[in-house]
Amino acid sequence: MEIQLKELKEGKTSFESKNQKGEILEIEEKRGVKVKNFKVSGEIRKSRLEYFLILNVISKILLECARCLEKFEKDFEEKGEYHIKIGKDKLADKKEVEIQEENINTIYLDEPVLNLIPLIREIILLSLPMKPLCKEDCKGLCPLCGKNKNKEECNCKVEISTPLSKIKDVFKK
């Protein structure tokens, strides 16, 4: 999914791409994430040799719950905004640089060809929750028998060990 920037006219250009296969994003399933088909839409504003990109990504993502390890599907819709410049980053050669707010989403390209795949991958990965949950009140797995407590109850007695529980044992004697 590439955009030839030199072919764009001054002003705003809109684009849309539907039913893209999630595999082209190369997001590893080892992380417990699988992107199904996705849709990308957006617009690019050209102003001389600078471009401003707004990118919208809509998809269904298959995640693994951090508590019960069950797979679940989640609707995904996120937006990314980028400032694109053709040429070399003047700050790249400096040893130490304080990054300014306006430089965070600035992309420097050697050639006027923009590959959207890394940007889409970035939008998805940065928007994923650190600990995905199938539901807010997920009970997780029993630490002793390993049963999914959302599906069935177990009769295991889990002893909670805290530093203060040791003091309690001293007073029992």
What is the domain extent for residue 167? Answer: 139-173
147 and 104 in one domain? no
95 and 14 in one domain? yes
Distance CA 42, CA 165 (A): 57
Residue 172 has pLDDT above 80, yes or no: no
The pLDDT mean for the chain works out to 83
Number of domains in the chain: 2
Query: What's the confidence (pLDDT) of residue 31?
Result: 64
User: 78 and 57 in contact (C-beta within 8 Å)?
Assistant: yes
User: 22 and 39 in contact (C-beta within 8 Å)?
Assistant: no
Distance CA 44, CA 35 (A): 25
What is the average pLDDT across 87-93? Answer: 66
Residue 99 has pLDDT above 70, yes or no: no
Query: What's the confidence (pLDDT) of residue 32?
Result: 67
